[in-house]
Amino acid sequence: MRQKRLFMVVLAVVLCVGFMVSIFSSGKAHAQVVRLKVSTYFPAPASQSTLLEEFCRELERRTGGRVKVDFFAGGSLVSPVATFDGIVSGITDIGYSHVYYTSGRMPVTEAIGLPLGYPSAWVSGQVINDFYDQFKPKEFERVRVLWMNTSPPSAIATSKKAVRKLEDLRGLTIRAPGMAGIVIRALGGTPAPTPMPEVYDAISKGVLDGEASNFETLRTFRFAEVVKHTTSVWQITNPFPFYLAMNKDSYAKLPADIKVIFDSLVGEYKEQYILMWNSIDFAGRDYGREKGVEFIELPPDEVARWKAAVEPVIDGYIKTMVGKGHSEAEVKGWIKFIRDRIDFWTKKQVALRIPSPAGPPELKPRL
């Protein structure tokens, strides 16, 4: 009888200790903190950086501190050129850059940058996400794409010579990487793939005559201090395709409940980023005005000349992609899809009355 009692006491102690160990282990696992590094090349004060950091802090808040984020702006962790490889290798868990910094490595997505006539960043931002969801380009299969967006349609900003007709671009060296550079060359200019953080100095020293990007950069990168003229030609210039991507292993290691929170937050901020890109062009335009920058719009007959000049860019892209093993029908299918989505989202923007400084014509304020 005594042995039985002793056995029961020992069993109770063992069960109690086991239960306490289990509780301790569970609590310890639950309290384990996941640390993520998030990087962008945009300067810390830029809207692109502040909104991305807001995403990081909101992730920390919603996870109750179980996720901690180290945020790196201004290319302080990885340069814009090294961002994609930095994500793949795990130098940064999440990185934000655009595809022209690795020109030729994301050729399918570069179709978004063809001169197809995007009137606003809101339209092109919706189109690029539709495109990625529809075609899932293999060039991104080594990372987990969180969202994609684009800059507003590019304008051509110059330091000395105003661009009012095609001939004015001849002899000018314009910062324009990737597809943007191909467009500038077709228009008669000389493209240079200068990294964005170096453009201000290059223009101020006369190494560059100007740059091709959106109004927003006049303020974010202070280009309004070194350029005097900006020519708006959204009908043929192109947006820059951006991606926010994550290291696959970093995502896989997230606990299941954290993934639910993370995925929900990504969905929310994807649209916020599109709206941000659309709105900041106003601030850039206003800053340019304050600095005395001249804003030029081309008359319809001149726009028609520019459209004709860039048509070979589209044909050249088709030939290049066929040379990479894609069928002509497939590539033309991508372009048709993009054109159709531009039309769809432009009508949607007009219906929703979402303003933007370049277009659509129904919503564009006078310069």
pLDDT in tens, the chain (367 residues): 455 554 454 445 444 445 444 444 444 445 689 999 999 999 999 999 999 999 999 999 999 999 999 999 999 999 999 999 999 999 999 999 999 899 899 999 999 999 999 999 999 999 999 999 999 999 999 999 999 999 999 999 999 999 999 999 999 999 999 888 999 999 999 999 999 889 999 999 999 999 999 999 999 899 999 999 999 988 887 888 999 999 999 999 999 999 999 999 999 999 999 999 988 999 999 999 999 999 999 999 999 999 999 999 999 999 999 999 999 999 999 999 999 999 999 999 999 999 888 878 887 766 5
pLDDT of residue 306: 97
What Cα–Cα distance (Å) separates residue 287 from each residue in 218, 221, 233?
7, 11, 19
pLDDT of residue 339: 97
| CA 319 to chain CA mean position, Å | 26
Model pTM score: 0.85
Of residues 115, 117, 121, 183, the one with CA closest to residue 152:
121
Q: Look at the block and give the residue holding tokens 């945009």.
A: 42
Of residues 277, 294, 274, 276, the one with CA closest to residue 285:
294
pLDDT of residue 13: 43
What Cα–Cα distance (Å) separates residue 299 from each residue in 54, 119, 211?
41, 16, 21
CA dihedral 198, 200, 203, 208 (to 10 degrees): 30
Domains of the chain (ranges plus CATH)? 32-113+139-150+241-278 (3.40.190.170), 155-240+281-352 (3.40.190.170)
Tally Cβ neighbours within 10 Å of residue 221: 21
Cα-flanking dihedrals φ and ψ of residue 244, to 5°? -115, 115
pLDDT of residue 22: 46
CA dihedral 355, 360, 364, 367 (to 10 degrees): 130
pLDDT of residue 135: 98
Instruction: Kindly state the tokens that stand for 76.
Output: 């302080």
| Residue type (1 letter), 75 | G
What Cα–Cα distance (Å) separates residue 367 from each residue in 72, 83, 250, 361?
36, 36, 46, 12
